[in-house]
Amino acid sequence: MKKYHQASWNEPLLIEMSKSGRQAFSLPELKPEVLSAINEDRPENLIPEKMRRKTDLLLPEVSEPEIVRHYVRLSQMNFGIDLGMYPLGSCTMKYNPKVSERIAKNPKFSGLHPYQDEQTVQGILEILYELQSLLCEITGMSAFSLSPAAGAQGEFVGALIIRNFLNDCGYSSKKDEMLVPDSAHGTNPASAAMTGFKVVKIPSSEGGIVTAEAVKKVISERTAGMMLTVPNTLGIFEREIGEVSSIVHDAGGLMYYDGANMNALLGRVKPGEMGFDIVHLNVHKTFATPHGGGGPGAGPVGVVDKLSEYLPVPVIVRKGGEGYGFDYNRPRSIGRIKSFYGNVGVLLRAYCYILSLGKDGLKTVSEQAVLASNYLLSKLDRRYYSLRYSTDQPRKHEFVVSASPLKRKTGVSAGDISKAILDSGNHSPTVYFPLIVDEALMIEPTETEPVEFLDQYATILNELAERANQSPESILKAPERTSISRIDEYRASHPGSLVLNWRYLLDGAKKKKDDDNKGKRNGSSNSRKDS
């Protein structure tokens, strides 16, 4: 295996590198014909006096090479799917094909402005309209909204649609319970609660699924709906989904499909065929779009016919002979949930991915994703990594093993393994989720990893377990080849430590700048030389 060592730069912030008067780029003087067109010698006069800046804008003043080096150095301290495997189950980063990147960056798309007149953006509107239709075809829904910015926002939209629809049906507050299995992603109960529903937890069966029997125990006239991920977060297909959907529908509730795991089912089965009424898709998980560090992402939401009026506005429609346009006139809509029309660049990448693979290609994606996951699982040493629930059954696109045998034997936990794996130049699996598996390691290799990488990843995990057996302390010290080693996890995620300090930095930079200006006015030489 190639040796990995991440760069470690002691990199300051750009504002800390700032030197008065230094520039990377200077705008040209306005041409005389522009000045005469606006009828002003000084364009700033077009801005009302009281709205003009009185002080300089506090931006870092740095040269172009400094900026380039700054960002290249930061990128060297980062990790991404273009560098190594990233099998972060559930929140997986799929490889983003370069052809989609190239198309999305084409200035014909990236140069568009959301305030442009509809008639001048017919091309992108046609693409988005087609994408809505493709997603309907893939999921078996009747209408789609591309607005939501992420899966979690899609869930919130779906829960709002359920609430408004039930209110219009006259149920008002009588239907106030949302069923959510204990294997669900945390965003499911959160979205339901934010919409005002009481969350009713359904325990997973011995086989790791939601059974019709478990649903019958909690279903009542108060049931508004159920949020379900298929395959679930254990990577297991919900075999009783047909019966479960019927029970919820018979009680007057709606079925919500968390489509984060649609990668496993592409071209095989549609959520609509399983009885779902509302679907969200995580395009970063299913259609290979970027979604790092919380965004920008996209979580389109699809619905069956009877719910289409409730979708967020605007909906992109075909306006007969006039081409495509935005429809805001939807009295039953839950309203606007995102500025403009969603993250168009991300949606464009999803469109490219779907078209470049075609129907058969998408089918191959799910086939390969499931094969890769089961292959990797079969290579793991079960003495250290045990499987829970339906142990004799294959998984779908991801699987969850428990490192508790390893922990019992050596004291090394799933979290320790996840740190140590970073030293190999790969990303760790998701740890401690789903909550129903202790010492969980959740692995989703995706369809794009060649078999050698799957072998390598399994070997690394098995070797780490062996090492933990022989010298657990060596694992507890890891990672040692990354830019930073272990951090104080409690403080790193504690609200008290997350206070942004840019204001503090800006205040410092402003003081420096004021001092500089004072120095200049006094005719003294600047102590910071711009050499």
Ligand X SMILES: Cc1ncc(COP(=O)(O)O)c(C=O)c1O
Q: Which residues bind ligand X (CB under 6 A)?
A: 90-91, 150-152, 185, 187, 229, 233, 258, 260, 282, 285, 297, 299
Shortest spacing between CB 150 and ligand X, in angstroms: 4
Burial grade of 98 (CB within 10 A; 0-12, 13-18, 19 or more):
exposed
Q: How far apart are CA 251 and CA 259, in angstroms?
A: 23
CB 442, CB 433: distance < 8 Å: yes
**Identity of the residue, 138 or 464, whose beta carbon is nearer to ligand X in the bound complex:** 138
**Identity of the residue, 298 or 304, whose beta carbon is nearer to ligand X in the bound complex:** 298
**Identity of the residue, 258 or 447, whose beta carbon is nearer to ligand X in the bound complex:** 258
Q: How far apart are CA 469 and CA 486, in angstroms?
A: 21
**Identity of the residue, 190 or 218, whose beta carbon is nearer to ligand X in the bound complex:** 190
Shortest spacing between CB 249 and ligand X, in angstroms: 22
CB 178, CB 192: distance < 8 Å: yes
Shortest spacing between CB 44 and ligand X, in angstroms: 42
Shortest spacing between CB 233 and ligand X, in angstroms: 6
Helix residue ranges per DSSP H, 389-470? 404-410, 414-420, 451-470
What tokens appear for 436 in the block?
A: 């129903």
Shortest spacing between CB 279 and ligand X, in angstroms: 12
What tokens appear for 270 in the block?
A: 């549609």
**Identity of the residue, 384 or 389, whose beta carbon is nearer to ligand X in the bound complex:** 389
**Rounded to the nearest 5°, which phi and psi values hold at 443?**
-120, 130
CB 254, CB 228: distance < 8 Å: no
- The full length of the chain comes to 531
**Identity of the residue, 338 or 407, whose beta carbon is nearer to ligand X in the bound complex:** 338
CB 254, CB 225: distance < 8 Å: yes
The type of residue at 416 is D
- Which residue is at the shortest CB distance from ligand X? 151
Give the chain's radius of gyration (CA, Å): 27
**Identity of the residue, 258 or 277, whose beta carbon is nearer to ligand X in the bound complex:** 258
**Identity of the residue, 125 or 157, whose beta carbon is nearer to ligand X in the bound complex:** 157
Shortest spacing between CB 90 and ligand X, in angstroms: 4
Sheet containing 143-145: order of strands: 143-145, 301-303, 278-281, 254-259, 223-229, 177-181, 198-202
**Identity of the residue, 191 or 211, whose beta carbon is nearer to ligand X in the bound complex:** 191
Shortest spacing between CB 152 and ligand X, in angstroms: 3
CB 144, CB 317: distance < 8 Å: no
Q: Which residues of 7-18 are buried (b: 16+ CB within 10 A; e: fewer)?
A: eeeebeebbebb
Shortest spacing between CB 235 and ligand X, in angstroms: 11
Shortest spacing between CB 482 and ligand X, in angstroms: 24
Shortest spacing between CB 23 and ligand X, in angstroms: 39
Q: Running DSSP on this structure, what letter comes out for residue 422?
A: G
Torsion, CA 152, CA 337, CA 144, CA 177, rounded to 10: 60
Q: Which residues of 297-319 are buried (b: 16+ CB within 10 A; e: fewer)?
A: bbbbbbbbeebbbbbbbbbbeee
**Identity of the residue, 263 or 333, whose beta carbon is nearer to ligand X in the bound complex:** 263
**Identity of the residue, 235 or 425, whose beta carbon is nearer to ligand X in the bound complex:** 235
CB 229, CB 245: distance < 8 Å: no
CB 315, CB 331: distance < 8 Å: no
Shortest spacing between CB 210 and ligand X, in angstroms: 14
Cis, peptide link before residue 290, omega less than 30° from 0 = no
Shortest spacing between CB 188 and ligand X, in angstroms: 7
Shortest spacing between CB 244 and ligand X, in angstroms: 17
Pairing of strands 399-402, 440-443: antiparallel
H or E segment at 163? helix 151-168
Q: Running DSSP on this structure, what letter comes out for residue 39?
A: T
**Identity of the residue, 185 or 222, whose beta carbon is nearer to ligand X in the bound complex:** 185
H or E segment at 229? strand 223-229
Pairing of strands 223-229, 254-259: parallel
**Identity of the residue, 18 or 233, whose beta carbon is nearer to ligand X in the bound complex:** 233
